[in-house]
Amino acid sequence: MQVIKTIREIREAVYTARQAGKAVALVPTMGALHEGHGHLIERARRASETVVVSIFVNPLQFGPGEDYGRYPRT
């Protein structure tokens, strides 16, 4: 497992996997991983050799006074 934090890193990792002939699956999330995400990850693992799970918490979906800073990113 790799933890990738930059766009450049993910581009390089996906490019490398594709150059090696591997299928790449993406499981996008908005943080707060739960059992449903686990099922999606398992399905992606069965369908491809490389699985990317993104955790992106969009600050635009939080209004003033909402707790963006404390929203789970796990």
Q: What is the pTM of this model?
A: 0.79
Q: Residue 37's Cα: distance from chain center in Å?
A: 10
Amino acid identity of residue 52, one-letter, is: V
| Helix or strand run (H / E) with residue 51 | strand 50-55
Of 33, 37, 50, 71, which one is the catalytic site residue?
Answer: 37
Residue 41 in this model has a pLDDT that exceeds 80: yes
For residue 21, the SS3 value is coil
Active site residue 37: yes
* Per-residue pLDDT, 59: 85
φ, ψ for residue 60, nearest 5 deg: -70, -15
pLDDT in tens, 9-19: 999 999 999 99
Contacts of 27 (CB under 8 A, 6+ apart): 37, 40, 41, 44, 51, 52, 53, 54
What are the extents of the domains in the chain? Answer: 16-58+69-74
